[in-house]
Amino acid sequence: VEERCVISHQFKDNLERQVEQTLLMEKKWTRHIGSTELRHGSFLDPKHHNFLISANKILVNNANDIFGSRSSLEGKPTLDAYIAALFASSEPGTIMVTLYPITGYLGRSIEKENEHRKKRNLQESLDASFFTCEQVNLGTGVVSWSHGKEINVWVYSRVHQSDESGDAYFLCDNIHCDAAQNNVATAAVY
């Protein structure tokens, strides 16, 4: 029976070493993301406005255009339009991921707007738009509700512009407009 005890001690020692190595690896690979605060309520409620625009990472579950035209109450903007306004009010560096594009409410990204300005012989500018947008394909079968369809997300990033206030601006692209010719920026949110 004595040899069984030796084997059990070796097994225990080996197991403890593996646990210790695993814990060291977890510490090495664990990312600390800072504080996370979740709130229950409507993002339309003004009491949440400052909280929402101060977030630096935003995930919008607007899959299948659920916050689009079907979400609109008579005389009110859609929920996607409201989210676009919140994003425009956020700080430069904020990243927002949506499950359905909202560029129809934001306008063109800085890349697309500068391409458009260039075609119209207008000067490219940091103030052409206040965000970048990238469509990312996550693949198929990544969510239970996709039924084998490919899932895309849209990653929006608020960019730093020439005005140090952090406010969001865009430029007019009408070649007959003095503001467009002189790169006079317009506030995205009033």
Condensed to tens digits (0 to 9), the pLDDT of residues 103-155 reads 889 999 999 999 999 999 998 999 999 999 999 999 888 877 778 888 899 99
* Radius of gyration of the chain, Cα coordinates, nearest whole angstrom: 25
The owner of tokens 């608020």 is 158
CB distance 94 to 158 below 8 Å: yes
**CA distance between the termini of the chain:** 82
Element (H, E) at 186: strand 185-187
Does pLDDT of 30 surpass 80?
Answer: no
pTM: 0.78
The owner of tokens 């140090």 is 164
Does pLDDT of 11 surpass 80?
Answer: no
